[in-house]
Structure 1
């Protein structure tokens, strides 16, 4: 209906419970609030908000150009419509450690269940591109400590992401992850691991919940949910999958519309009007105002 029926506190506790269950959480990245609602309808356990997707929505590259307030505003819109816990990409914390602290509180207020911070410099880049530059381990520890100290809800999940595998090697990435956990991180996101063996090595070395990034066209293998669960991972992340699917369909549709001069051939590939109205809950709004839902859809709408 108008809002989610659960509170942010309940969703944060649910995420903590799920992470402690030993079962794998499948976490697709939402494109917008509507897609977050669909993620819930299709039985997934949590929703993700990718910094790359939020930037791309604004037609910006993923190099740290979005602001904390822009991202928090979008996050609030998504958290409003789903009863699933929402994890968000907080990039490098949007500045110094004090900025990371403020970011935590902004995102708590937005209704999110947790965030992850990464150890790149402020002008960051996608984790699966070459040429990344990392901050010193102690600087990232300060970033994590500031974020942890800023929490007002102890169940708000603080995840540390390390991009060190591509820059300093696997052993250094594991050492950094351990240091970040010591600084207050509840979970770890090892970015751009390059083989199933590396995923296994990380699991063997780190005893907090781990996230596996199953992004397309990256440096690592696309492992199945079963394989990740067998490896002992806690979250399977699909950050940009829905955005890529949606934009691929948009491009195909524009090409067809330009070439044919009509969208007629595209109709079988479209979500119908009736399905749209079902997802939006038109009928439910009649409880507030019968004039909202007093129509009959035409056949095949």
Structure 2
């Protein structure tokens, strides 16, 4: 079931934002900080689970498995999930929306690239005709069962067709029923301002660290007019940098402890992922456990 929180915030005009969570550890750590939502990025879930690029290689079934685990791990925190192109035609879009909703996702993101899609901040993207994507959005809206389940329509048309075409597509997708629209890979602050000024539906900002879009603060994004934002790459790049540093120190110095490598407290981490409950269970049922001598 989708969380009502994001729709409520969207309708009231309250800005919300979601850091990316590439795996279950990231989702668990993020839960300590009380974010409005978490973002399940196709790029980073694919990289984390399979070590593959975001190039349409991973299937719907594989992504649904990861998204389902993430939504379960997130608990009371809503999950915004990337569903690429919907993994095929209109029937696939219908199936994808129903699957993501059943998995506990609160908002699904669909894009207008041709299959196989590419990461939004890489070259050689191609988009389907605008009316084809608009029909996909209408199918997605009709496929949902929970009124709190949100549909986000992303256009990647800026690179192949230009800014004006991207804005026209975003407006069309909003008219088709998308709750939120997403103009991917804007390269200038002026473009971001113009998009928010001219698009009538709520607009989401993609603060992809290392990508083509300027990284702005939450206050700046609010001032420009965005309704919400995602930070898909933050935790993944931070984790990769930390691991790279730790491995470098181990290789160079031959030791696993160093003031240059901060470590999360192991006991705290164990409790955070649920070991307290395991230990409590073991204490409760200690006398009922069969001994090795009685085992059969």
- Same fold by TM-score greater than 0.5: yes
| CA shift for structure 1 position 267 | 8.2
Task: Give the whole-Å Cα distance in 1 for the aligned partners of 2:131 and 2:87.
Answer: 17
Structure 2, gaps ≥5 residues long: 287-296
- The one of 272, 275, 287 aligned to 1:279: 272
- CA offsets, 1:55-113, max 9 Å, x none? 11211111111111111111111111221110011011111121111000110111000
1:243-296: per-residue Cα shift (whole Å, max 9, x none)? 111111112222222222221226851111122023123334455442699xxx
Name the residue aligned to 1:258.
251
Instruction: State the match for 2:177 in structure 1.
Output: 184
1:27 is aligned, of 18, 28, 42, to: 18
Q: Within 5 A, what are the aligned runs for 1:200-211?
A: 200-211=193-204
**Equivalent position to 1:47, from 38, 57, 63:** 38
Please name the residue that 2:127 is paired with.
134
Partner of 2:293: none
Deviation of 1:169 (Å): 1.5
Q: Which one of the candidate residues 62, 83, 90 is aligned to 2:54?
A: 62
**What's the CA shift for 1:199?**
1.2
CA contact (8 A) 1:24 1:228 kept: no
Secondary structure at the counterpart of residue 151 of structure 2: strand
Q: Does 1:229 align with 2:204?
A: no
Give yes or no for contact 2:20–2:231 (8 Å, CA) kept in 1.
Answer: yes
Match of 1:189, SS state, is strand
Superposition TM-score, scaled by structure 1 size = 0.89
Unaligned runs of 5+ in 1: 1-7, 294-301
Which one of the candidate residues 96, 111, 114 is aligned to 2:89? 96
Q: Is the 8 A contact 1:253 1:266 kept in 2?
A: no
Deviations 1:123-160 (A, max 9, x none): 11111122211111111112212212211212211110
- Is the alpha carbon distance of 1:21 and 1:289 closer, same or farther for their aligned partners in structure 2, counting shifts above 3 Å? farther
Residues 8-60 of structure 1: per-residue CA shift (max 9 Å, x gap): 34x1x111012223232121000212321222211211000000011112111
3-state SS of paired residue (2:258): helix
Q: 1:287 to 1:260 in 2, by over 3 A?
A: closer
TM-score, with length taken from structure 2? 0.90
Question: Deviation at 1:118?
Answer: 0.5
Partner of 1:77: 69
Give the match's secondary structure for 1:265.
coil
Q: Which of 166, 170, 173 is residue 173 of structure 1 equivalent to?
A: 166
1:164 pairs with 2:157: yes
In the alignment, the residues of structure 2 paired with residue 187 and residue 236 of structure 1 have an alpha-carbon distance, to the nearest angstrom, of 11
In terms of Rg, which structure is larger? 2
Q: Which residue is equivalent to 2:147? A: 154
Cα RMSD over matched residues? 1.8
Distance in 1 (alpha carbons) for counterparts of 2:143 and 2:233 = 29
C-alpha contact (below 8 Å) 1:282/1:292 kept by paired residues: no
